[in-house]
Amino acid sequence: VPVWLDVNVGMNRTGSPPGAWEHARDRLPAARHVSIVGLHGYDGHLTWDQREQAHVGYDALCRLARALPRPPRWIVTSGTHSYAHALAHAGLADGPWVHQVSPGTILLSDLRSHEAARDLGLQQGAFVASRVVSTPCPDRVTLDAGSKAVSPDRPAPNCRVLGHPELEPQRPSEEHLPLQVRAGTMAPAPGTVLWLVPEHVCTTVNLYRRALWLRGDAIVGEGAVEAMSHPLWADDPTSR
Ligand SMILES: Cc1ncc(COP(=O)(O)O)c(C=O)c1O
C-alpha cells in the first residue's frame, strides 16, 4: 500500500510532528505491505518574509525523509506564501526525491498574494463586480457585496476597491459593504460599478456558481466554477 505521511511542520493543523513519525519508523519494518512514497508538509501559516521559520520546518522534513528505511519518492510542501522559501532550500532540492510545491491561491491571486504574483510576473486575475446601492451619509457609500460576496473568512477590510484607494471598506454585513469615503474626495454616485479585489480569493470564488471571463472592458466568455460548494454525497456527481 503506497502511503503518504502528513507532517506537521509548524502549522498545527494536520499531520504529526517529524519526531512522532521518526518514532513510528521503528515499527515500519513490521508493516510489510506499507511503502512510504511521499511526505507532505504544508506551511500555510507562514508569510512571504518568514524564510527562516520555513527553513526550520524543511530541515526537519529532510531529516525525517533521510531517517526512513527508504527515502520517499516525493516531498510536497508550501503554498503561495512560502513556495519561494521552499524552492530556495538546498536540502529539499538535493535529495533523492522529487520536491514539489503546491501553491493554489496564486492562480487567481488576491491581496495577500501580491508579492508572490510579482515574483512570478502574474497579475490579479479575479474581481468581484459590485454596485453602489446606497449613500446613507455624506462620507459613506454602500455596495451590494457583503460577506456573501467576498472573503467571508477575513476581518475588515476584507477587500480593496480597484483604482479607488480613497474608498475604505468597512465591516460587511451579509448583503452590504459600507465604504468610508476619504475627506476631500468625491463619493461615487448610486449605480456606479466598482471592482473589488478580495483579501482571500479562495473563499470568494467558492461563493459563485459562474464566472465571467473579461479581456479589457469586454466580456469574452463565461464558465462554471466547478469547485464551488460541496457535493452532498462523495460519489454523486449530480449534487455538484
Ligand atoms: C494542504 C494545502 N496545500 C496547498 C494549499 C494551497 O495553498 P495556497 O492557497 O497558499 O496557495 C492549501 C490551501 O489551503 C492547502 O491546505
Each residue of 50-80: pLDDT tens digit?
999 999 999 999 999 999 989 999 999 999 9
Residue 94 pLDDT greater than 80, yes or no: yes
Give residue 38's pLDDT: 97
Among the residues of the chain, which ranges form H helices? 18-25, 51-67, 83-87, 90-94, 114-120, 202-205
Q: What mean pLDDT do residues 176-180 have?
A: 98
For residue 119, the CA-to-ligand 1 centroid distance in Å is 18
Atom of ligand 1 nearest to the CA of 81: 10
Residue pLDDT, tens place only, 7-26: 999 999 999 999 999 998 87
Per-residue model confidence (pLDDT) at position 112: 95
Residue written as grid cell 454585513: 173
Q: Give the distance (Å) from ligand 1 centre to CA of residue 165.
A: 29
pLDDT at residue 229 is higher than 80: yes
Q: How would residue 85 be classed by pLDDT, with cut points 50, 70 and 90?
A: very high
Name which of 28, 37, 57 is nearest 45 in CA terms.
57
Cell 512570478 maps to which residue?
A: 120
Atom of ligand 1 nearest to the CA of 40: 1
Distance from Cα 173 to the centre of ligand 1, integer Å = 27
Cα 122 to the center of its chain, rounded Å: 15
What is the pLDDT, as a whole number, of residue 28? 73
pTM score over 0.85: yes
- 239 pLDDT higher than 90: no
Convert the pLDDT of each residue in 110-127 to its tens digit: 999 999 999 999 999 999
Q: How far is the CA of 129 from the centre of ligand 1 (A)?
A: 26
Is the minimum distance from the CB of 200 to ligand 1 under 6 angstroms?
no
Q: Ligand 1 mean position to 60 CA, how many Å? A: 20
Residue 178 has pLDDT above 90, yes or no: yes
Find out whether the beta carbon of 105 lies less than 6 Å from any atom of ligand 1. yes
81 CB within 6 A, ligand 1: yes
**CB neighbour list of residue 116: distance below 8 Å, 6 or more residues apart:** 48, 80, 81, 83, 84, 103, 105, 106, 109, 122
pLDDT at 80: 97
CA of 103 to the centre of ligand 1 (A): 6
Nearest residue (CA) to ligand 1, atom 12: 79
Q: Is 83 in the pocket of ligand 1 (CB under 6 A)?
A: no
Residue with the three cell numbers 500500500: 1
Report how far residue 121's alpha carbon sits from residue 87's, in angstroms, rounded to the nearest whole number: 17
Give yes or no for residue 86 having a pLDDT over 90. Answer: yes
- The per-residue pLDDT of the chain, averaged, comes to 95
Checking if the pLDDT of 240 tops 60, the result is no
| pLDDT band (50, 70, 90) for residue 29 | low
Q: How many whole angstroms from 45 Cα to the centroid of ligand 1?
A: 10
Kindly tell me if the per-residue pLDDT of 187 is higher than 80: yes
Q: What was the pLDDT predicted at 225?
A: 94
Q: Is the CB of 17 under 6 A from ligand 1?
A: no
pLDDT at 33: 87
Ligand 1 proximity of 95 Cβ (cutoff 6 Å): no
202-226 mean pLDDT? 95
User: Can you name the residues that pair with 214 across neighbouring β-strands?
Assistant: 219
Give the helix/strand (H/E) hosting 238: none
